[in-house]
């Protein structure tokens, strides 16, 4: 197989043609150069050209008409009035996502729209694939939860293509720094974490560990809220009491790091966790080490998921209006579809946090 710069030559040609289509250089309905012309232009065999064209055909970017040639798909031409909305989330089947999607569906169904639902697994590569795929379909708009939103956006070209095609999109739960001016519905994550940390301080806690996700904007903002509360109380910031984890090590890093802190004999009396899932993993680890929650160590969550209210220890947490957030995102997208500008927008963009106090914390 012919390879250039680490990529097969058919793949390089496929990417170049796809980018030309998505950028508008090759327009819907336009005839592509023949196999012979592409073979001569790129100095590759017709077999290599045919392999690249086959991928684009399977993905819906081009259509081969027998005896006539190959054409850019007309499906890329008109994205209006389809009554289809793409919804892309990091996950679908667990935690807060079913109710979030339900809220989106409530509004869109009531307005005669259908949902094309996809998930990325919080992978930027999967996000790119989702965006490429939905741009071959006739959609009126997109609601998307960005993958690893605190890392530089590698898929900026896909979002630029959406802009060029006139397809409005709304971010939920996070935004990329380079796209922060785009419409979004967000929780005030900094304020929520500030409230939880302040609450522990008011209960008399003196040594509070923070656990945060480093690769999304929610985690970074929740860390800022934690730091703000410590500063206000005059507590020194101790980096050894902050645990950062990535998407890939979320099942291991938080609980193993807490174990290390306990074994090192560092005295802690409170833990502010990134979310409810992390909080319960931490609680299990503490219990395995014969630490009682909240008698020895108080623990807070975030998101008020089902496990926060139904687990063996009811979590103090921040409410997440899952269905409401989904409804707000759908309503904001419909405003964009109908041409309502930001000055006339009826939808609030930032959801103020509400703390829910349960039994996982106690006064010192």
Average pLDDT for residues 332-353, to the nearest whole number?
Answer: 86
From residue 171, alpha-carbon distances to 186, 252, 278, 325, 342 in Å are 8, 29, 24, 11, 15
84-97 confidence digits (pLDDT tens): 999 999 998 778 89
Residue 356 lies inside a defined structural domain of this protein: no
**How many separate domains does the chain show?**
3
The reply to whether 133 falls in a domain is: yes
Residue 361 forms part of a structural domain: no
List the one residue out of 152, 154, 187 whose CA is nearest residue 173. 187
For the segment 159-188, the average pLDDT, to the nearest whole number, is 92
Q: 202 and 314: one domain? A: yes
Q: Tell me: do 160 and 250 sit in the same domain.
A: no
Q: Which range among 80-84, 98-102, 212-216, 309-313 shows the weakest confidence by mean pLDDT?
A: 80-84
245 part of a folded domain: yes
pLDDT-derived band at 2 (thresholds 50, 70, 90) equals low
Q: Which residues of 129-144 are buried (b: 16+ CB within 10 A; e: fewer)?
A: bbbbebbbebbbbbbb
Average pLDDT, the chain: 92
Q: What is the pLDDT of residues 54-84, one digit of tens each?
A: 989 887 788 988 889 999 987 665 544 689 9
Residues 60, 95, single domain; the answer is no
CB-side neighbour CA atoms (13 Å) of 270:
24
What is the phi-psi region of residue 303: left when phi exceeds 0, alpha when psi lies from -120 to 50, beta otherwise? left
State the CATH number of the domain containing residue 136.
3.40.50.2300
- Residue 254 sits in the same domain as residue 310: yes
**CA of 155: how far to CAs of 101, 130, 294, in Å?**
23, 11, 44
Give residue 115's domain range.
84-187+323-351
């Amino acid at each position: 197989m012919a390879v250039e710069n680490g990529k097969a030559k058919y793949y390089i040609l496929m990417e170049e043609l796809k980018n030309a289509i998505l950028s508008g250089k090759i327009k819907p309905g336009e005839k592509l150069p023949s196999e012979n012309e592409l073979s001569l232009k790129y100095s590759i065999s017709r077999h290599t050209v045919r392999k690249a064209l086959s991928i684009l055909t399977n993905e819906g970017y081009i259509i081969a008409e027998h005896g006539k040639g190959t054409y850019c798909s007309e499906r890329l031409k008109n994205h209006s009035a389809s009554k289809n909305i793409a919804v892309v989330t990091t996950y679908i089947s667990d935690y807060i996502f079913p109710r979030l999607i339900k809220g989106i569906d409530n509004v869109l169904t009531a307005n005669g729209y259908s949902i094309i639902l996809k998930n990325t697994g919080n992978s930027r590569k999967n996000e790119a694939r989702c965006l490429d795929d939905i741009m071959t379909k006739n959609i009126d708009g997109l609601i998307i939860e960005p993958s690893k939103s605190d890392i530089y956006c590698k898929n900026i070209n896909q979002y630029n293509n959406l802009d060029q095609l006139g397809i409005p999109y709304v971010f939920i739960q996070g935004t990329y720094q380079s796209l922060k001016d785009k419409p979004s519905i967000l929780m005030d994550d900094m304020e929520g974490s500030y409230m939880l940390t302040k609450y522990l301080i008011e209960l008399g806690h003196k040594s509070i560990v923070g656990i945060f996700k480093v690769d999304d904007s929610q985690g970074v903002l929740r860390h800022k809220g934690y730091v703000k509360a410590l500063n206000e109380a005059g507590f020194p910031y101790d980096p050894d009491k902050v645990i950062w984890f990535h998407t890939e090590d979320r099942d291991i890093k938080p609980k193993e790091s807490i174990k290390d802190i306990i074994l090192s004999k560092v005295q802690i009396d409170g833990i502010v966790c990134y979310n409810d899932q992390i909080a319960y993993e931490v609680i299990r680890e503490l219990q395995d080490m014969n630490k009682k929650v909240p008698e020895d160590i108080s623990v807070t969550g975030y998101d008020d998921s089902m496990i926060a209210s139904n687990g063996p220890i009811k979590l103090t947490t921040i409410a997440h209006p899952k269905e409401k957030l989904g409804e707000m995102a759908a309503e904001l997208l419909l405003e964009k579809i109908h041409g309502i500008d930001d000055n006339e927008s009826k939808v609030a963009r930032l959801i103020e946090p509400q703390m829910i106090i349960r039994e996982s914390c106690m006064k010192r």
